[in-house]
Structure 1
């Protein structure tokens, strides 16, 4: 079993913005991912109020996450498209949700999104929100974030890159319990599907397994 698909091998930790070594690693992962896509611009850099987190796998940092309150005075698109709750919502925005190439496709993104939602619940926010490209949208939705149907955004000012809002309501009474249940289901499904794929790769794996279990 590849431990990349076992959430128990991952931890998250808030980084010390004053620690040059930690922030160098954070920025290195950000640059590695975004520069190849042509997205490494000032608009994606963590701001002065951004809380930066590292995703660790067996003590090695393999992913990053930025969290910062999105304020209505900043004219963020969230306030136009999120469900109306009768007052201006308090939003925690997830940015820089990035994994190093070797860990993409595993459960690392789920661990990061769970941390983001937990921080929003802990901080009394109404929503955890984020914006992602169409190409990566499904990974956020698979974990349990809700996509918004709106005209595509072009935050990178490129017509070939369209962006979409995702959110999770974190101020509901059931938010914490649902997040826990959803996380457990997601991690179990990902781990099990990986095991199934590996069985299919083994020569005669399906037939041998079925014969052993009395299917044939």
Structure 2
């Protein structure tokens, strides 16, 4: 009997993962100074690799993220600014008790300051409706913070590791019963040389700089 009990105990211990191994927290996102991203702090999202866009007359280098409107309507879209760090942003995780931003976890992204062009719209990121004329789904603003579920499914994004830097992804887990397509966030250049953030197969490789 003792031998049987010993065998069962040995089997139970060796056939299961160590306690806590499956629940290890994802690694933290690191900014350009080597510090962990903190919820609610201000950061710039900037290109990890410098790049240049050329038009008919001149060329310019891409910079950080800002707000703009194609037709002066609200809400404003998220665009890549020309040759500067753009506007500061904040990251708010789905678990409001967590102070560190971690990879592959749901979060809201918002510009830190309101924009006087659209005072009645928030600067919280969300996916826009599919633009059939351009064949794109842009990242726009006007979302809400928190309230995870089907009514806010378009407001949640993730930060993933990408090569030696990071990328943004739309693949929320806040509503398990919701059907959505997971996709990277990349850059789309329109006919006026505006650089929009949009769903893409080619991710925009980024890093985070404390503002």
| TM value normalised by structure 2 | 0.26
Larger C-alpha radius of gyration, 1 or 2?
2
Q: Which has the higher strand share?
A: 2
Q: Which has the higher helix share?
A: 1
| TM value normalised by structure 1 | 0.26
